């Protein structure tokens, strides 16, 4: 099991990217590579990627990442954990490295966008995405759509129908319609507050959500 993080960097500047990593993680590429599956395969005499195929790397005692040389404006990072059967650990490791790397880029004024990740387990790929403000807005809107449109319209139509077939007296119906209007107003105020606190105030979290 291994993972890959992919980012678009504005302005293709490999030299700047390499410098950012080597300043943050000096002399780590060789030792990170030596711990990787790539090196294990190379030592078995198989052709694979060498340390020259990477511009930077870093490792801890239980995980590592290796940064591939950029292709156009796309940066890809290989992530590996020592325990290659723990999906939760792999997910947490990817997120930890993603946050570290994007923090480095932010501190150096390097614009990045479209973060994506994948974890490959056997032949099953898992996809990771970051919920942007737009996606959070869409999620909240979708959950509240019914309360904002369907419920008030249904309530008013039900009241009109009840009036037409004389199920309830007019005064009761008027009270029901006032209640429907108040409930609808509550729903709109509620969604404005939710959007304010969950979308506008909260900055985009630098965390991948994986579809598993």
Q: Judged by CB under 8 A, does residue 209 bind another protein? A: no
- The least CB distance from residue 179 to another protein, in Å, is 45
Tell me the per-residue interface mask from 101 to 120 with another protein, x by CB under 8 A, - otherwise.
---------------xxx-x
Q: Judged by CB under 8 A, does residue 49 bind another protein? A: yes
- The least CB distance from residue 46 to another protein, in Å, is 5
Distances (CA, A) of 130 to 3, 4, 116, 160, 212: 15, 14, 7, 46, 14
Looking at the Cβ atoms of 65 and 152, the one nearer to another protein is 65
Q: Judged by CB under 8 A, does residue 78 bind another protein? A: yes
Rg, the chain, Cα only: 26
Sign of the Cα pseudo-torsion (101, 102, 103, 109, in order): positive
Closest CA to 67 of 55, 49, 81, 50: 55
Among 26, 125, 169, 190, binds another protein (CB under 8 A): 125
Q: Which stretch binds another protein (CB under 8 A): 67-75, 153-161, 165-173, 190-198?
A: 67-75
Dist. CA 212–CA 209, nearest whole Å: 9
Q: Judged by CB under 8 A, does residue 41 bind another protein? A: yes
Looking at the Cβ atoms of 116 and 176, the one nearer to another protein is 116
Dist. CA 193–CA 110, nearest whole Å: 33
Cα distance between the two ends of the chain? 15
- The least CB distance from residue 123 to another protein, in Å, is 7
Give residues with Cβ within 8 angstroms of 179, minimum separation 6: none
The residue ranges that bind another protein (CB under 8 A) are 2-4, 6, 37-38, 41, 46-49, 53, 68-69, 71, 76, 78, 116-118, 120, 123-127, 129, 211
């Amino acid at each position: 099991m291994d993972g890959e993080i992919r980012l678009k960097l504005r302005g293709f500047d490999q030299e700047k990217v390499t410098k950012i990593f080597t300043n943050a993680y000096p002399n780590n590429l060789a030792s990170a590579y030596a711990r990787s599956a790539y090196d294990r395969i190379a030592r078995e005499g198989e052709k694979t990627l060498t340390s020259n195929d990477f511009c930077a790397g870093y490792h801890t005692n239980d995980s590592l990442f290796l940064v591939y040389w950029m292709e156009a404006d796309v940066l890809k990072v290989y992530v590996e954990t020592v325990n290659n059967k723990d999906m939760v650990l792999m997910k947490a490791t990817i997120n930890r490295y993603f946050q570290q790397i994007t923090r480095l880029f932010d501190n150096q004024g390097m614009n990045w966008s479209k973060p994506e990740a994948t974890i490959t387990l056997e032949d099953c790929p898992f996809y990771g995405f970051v919920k942007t403000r737009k996606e959070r807005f869409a999620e909240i809107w979708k959950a509240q759509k019914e309360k904002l449109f369907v419920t008030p319209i249904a309530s008013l139509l039900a009241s009109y129908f009840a009036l037409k077939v004389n199920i309830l007296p007019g005064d009761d119906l008027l009270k029901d319609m006032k209640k429907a209007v108040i409930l609808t107003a509550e729903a709109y105020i509620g969604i404005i507050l939710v959007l304010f606190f969950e979308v506008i105030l909260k900055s985009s979290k630098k965390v991948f959500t994986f579809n598993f």
